[in-house]
Amino acid sequence: MDADRAVRWLLESAPAVGVDRLPGLVMALAPALDASAVVVYVVDYTQTRLVPLPPAGGPRRKAVRVDGSVAGRAFATEQLHEQSGRVCRLWVPLVHGCNRLGVLEITTNAPAPGHIHEASQALAAAVTDVLISRRPYGDIIERVRRQEPMQLAAEIIWGLLPPLSFATDQVMVAGVLEPCFDIGGDAFDYALNAGVLSVAVFDAVGHGNSASLLATLAVGGYRNARRCGLDLADTARSVDKNVRAHQHGAFVSAVLAELDCATGELRLVVAGHPAPLLLRDGKMIKTLPGPTALPLGLWHMSGNGPAVAQESLQPGDEILIYTDGVIEARGDDGELFGTDRLVDFVTRALADQLPLPETMRRLVHAILAYQHDQLQDDATALMVQWRTPANSHSAGLPPTIDTGVASTASTG
């Protein structure tokens, strides 16, 4: 079976089996790549480890840390890396657009020739499509991604969220949430319709299940209003009304925004939330207006409707939206992480020209390290980048399939 036929066979066979049998299907493709093994690794919820999907029979590989490994470098840079040693390994990123699922390990007895590199990338693209399409029908992927039991509140929120990252030739979105297994009331949502990107970040009052249910109501209300065709101000009014009707006195701080992907015009409502930051050429330009309204659920306390702020973006501009848990993380001396430290970290990461999802991954781990992995509040951040088609590959996102191969020596 040649590589092209192998890919077709995988795409045709996957819908006929359960999710737990996918690792076996992928392993069966090894001969088509002159390989001894092909193994799927998925990134865990903390984005610190790449965990192999368990094969049916056969030896199970160990998880690999993202930081400090060749596999992790392939994941972080979204480029194929080759690892030489007693055996040779190709580590191929599993990326859908800019949504990073994990990596594919292809083990060979000798350095792989160029045509195997190309075939492995085609196979990785097929494996990515299969994982995305089959994932909802079983729990095996969810189970291996968890380092510890997930609390019910977190289960509710993760089941609600869209993928952490999304990209087209004009816009990119990348988000992070912590703590992964015990999220309370933070959530976000986005959608692209008719050239307009709609984005929202929510922070519901309270903790645990009550906060997650309130955040679920806010996200559901936001999606419902958006899909009914309401404009930004009326969408915010609708969410406010639903939150107030659900529980008197409850509230949700939020940022609701719309970006015209053709013109770069940004419109936003900042409802009792930290104001987003505008970054340009790797530097912070300004803090956007905010808050422009009370938190959602409290608008009956004021006779004023939401003020809609506007900003004209330039190609390559980034908007950073975050919840207060990001800047209110405290170090050993009690000092807050703060806006200045947040901006400094993000600008340094952007200067390194990392893919945007990798910038956000490193940001959330910097916040966790600052507070020794013991956050006192949920920390959520979402970055939106406006790009023109001509600017697509110069804005910090390498192409998903790259013909250049980095080679790293190893003893294993």
Q: Exposed, middle or buried: residue 106 (CB in 10 Å: 0-12, 13-18, 19+)?
A: buried
pTM as predicted: 0.87
Reported confidence tier of residue 67, pLDDT bands at 50, 70, 90: very high
94: left (phi over 0), alpha (psi -120 to 50) or beta: beta
150-394 belongs to CATH 3.20.20.70: no
For residue 287, give the nearest of 343, 232, 330, 326 by alpha carbon. Answer: 343
Third-level CATH fold of 3-143: Beta-Lactamase (3.30.450)
CA-CA distances (angstroms) from residue 179 to 85, 237, 262, 279?
Answer: 37, 30, 36, 26
Summarize pLDDT for 91-111 with one digit per residue, the tens: 999 999 889 999 999 998 877
Confidence (pLDDT) at 315: 94
pLDDT of 401 strictly over 50: no
Residue 364 contacts by C-beta under 8 Å, 6 or more apart in sequence? 47, 176, 177, 178, 379, 381
What are the residue boundaries of the structural domains of the chain, listed by start? 3-143, 150-394
Confidence (pLDDT) at 394: 40
282: left (phi over 0), alpha (psi -120 to 50) or beta: left
* Average pLDDT across the chain, whole number: 87
For residue 72, give the nearest of 91, 53, 54, 46 by alpha carbon. Answer: 91
Are the CB atoms for 72 and 66 separated by under 8 Å?
yes
Buried-exposed string 41-76: b where 16+ CB fall within 10 A, e elsewhere:
bbbbbbbbbbbbbbbeeeeebeebebeebbbbbbbb
Summarize pLDDT for 138-147 with one digit per residue, the tens: 999 999 999 8
